[in-house]
Homo-oligomer: A and B are copies of this chain.
Amino acid sequence: MVDDPGRIWRRAAERRRAGLDGDRIAAAALRLADAEGLAAVSMRRLAAELGAGTMSLYRHVSGRDDVVELIVDAAWGSEPPPAPTGDWRADLRALAGRTRRILLAHPWLAFEAPTRPRFGPNALRQTEASLAIARQADQDIDRAAALLDAVMSFTFGAVQRELAERRAERNSGLTEDEWRRTIGPYLREALAGGDYPHLRARVVDGADPDHAERFAFGLDRVLDGIGAWLAAVRGER
């Protein structure tokens, strides 16, 4: 067998039949990741959290990667995907909003989820629901997939940026202003040279953007672009 991405999920189904604790592992790991970050989810730590021996975990999970795969899917399952209502624009917006909410609720997820395609039950349900929504805009599966991809690409990218900024704020002092004074010595020196007029304008004159507002702005641009394109495609027919 070359590589079997379906392994864990088949196994999970079997376990459920046998009634064992693959779920407990996932639940404990998710709790740990949310509380102390994904790095804190080590096999030893996780086992300790469950009051079990480290190697016992390997009976239910084939390694740490499996644990991560499990909690990624569990996180996606924390809020059901929205159902199509007939208004593709509103539905796509709701879908993006749900995605952002979930990513913000599990800050490790945004950096782990996009590393490879996932096939957990919740991921499957979610993809299905997303395609159902996208096909309201265009029944053609390839065009629907393409426009969904554009929306989701933006969503992930935007939330990652948001999380990175949030983390930077958390890390150094407290406020965005405080942070500026921390990086100050270096950045001020760089800006003082006059080599970066636009950067300087952004830092000095620019307003601190509201994250939610930023997200909504970008999303609206994407949806506008998709709307215009749909109109053009329909016009051609």
Q: Which residues of A contact B (CB under 8 A)?
A: 2-7, 9-10, 111, 114-117, 119, 124, 127-128, 131-132, 135, 141-142, 144-147, 149-150, 152-158, 160-161, 164-165, 167-168, 171-173, 182-183, 185-187, 190, 195-199, 201-202, 205-207, 209, 214, 217-218, 220-226, 228-229
Contacts and interface: CB of A to CB of B under 8 A. Distances in A.
Contact of A182 (B5, B114, B155, B167): B5
A160 B114 contact: yes
Contacts of A154: 150, 153-154, 157, 218, 222
7 tightest A-B CB contacts, nearest first: A6-B186, A157-B157, A225-B225, A221-B225, A150-B218, A131-B198, A153-B157
A154 B96 CA distance: 13
Number of copies: 2
A214 B152 CA distance: 13
Contacts of A214: 146, 149
B186 A5 contact: yes
The A interface is mostly helix, strand or loop, or mixed, namely: helix
Contacts of A195: 128
Contact of A209 (B146, B168, B223): B146
Contact of A6 (B5, B9, B183, B201): B183
B229 A224 contact: yes
A185 B226 CA distance: 36
Given A149-B209, A221-B229, A225-B226, 8 more contacts: A4-B182, A10-B186, A116-B167, A119-B187, A119-B190, A127-B199, A141-B201, A153-B157
Nearest to A10: B186
Given A196-B128, A207-B142, A2 B172 contact: yes
Contacts of A222: 150, 154, 218, 221-222, 225
Given A128-B198, A183-B5, A202-B141, A157 B146 contact: no
